[in-house]
Amino acid sequence: MRSAATRKLRWFLRRKLAAWVADALLFTTAGLAVLGAGTAVRAIGWTDAATSMVIGGVLQCAAVWVMLRLHEWSERPY
């Protein structure tokens, strides 16, 4: 029979740690996508460097907002 501490640790590792790793991967992927989009816009020559940085920042904020909404949605009980 397992102790209560062992059960709590196993629950934590299964639920919370897995969710944190998934969130970190999602945020990293979104960040890399935004960085790539900003680099492509700059390489094509549509904007100057400052404007592409602003575009990248806005896209990053939007990506973070979407990820937070998805995270809240996934945490809701059925």
- The mean pLDDT of the chain is 74
Domain residue spans in the chain?
20-75
Tokens matching residue 74: 């996934």
Structure tokens at 58: 């806005």
- Is a pLDDT exceeding 60 seen at residue 52? yes
Q: Find out whether 62 and 45 touch, Cβ atoms under 8 Å.
A: no
Model pLDDT, residue 23: 75
**Whole-angstrom Cα distance, residue 53 to residue 39?**
9
Taking only the tens place, the pLDDT of each residue in 28-46 is 777 777 777 777 777 777 6
Distance CA 2, CA 25 (A): 32
Residue 77 phi/psi, 5° resolution?
-75, 155
- Would the pLDDT of 78 be above 60? no
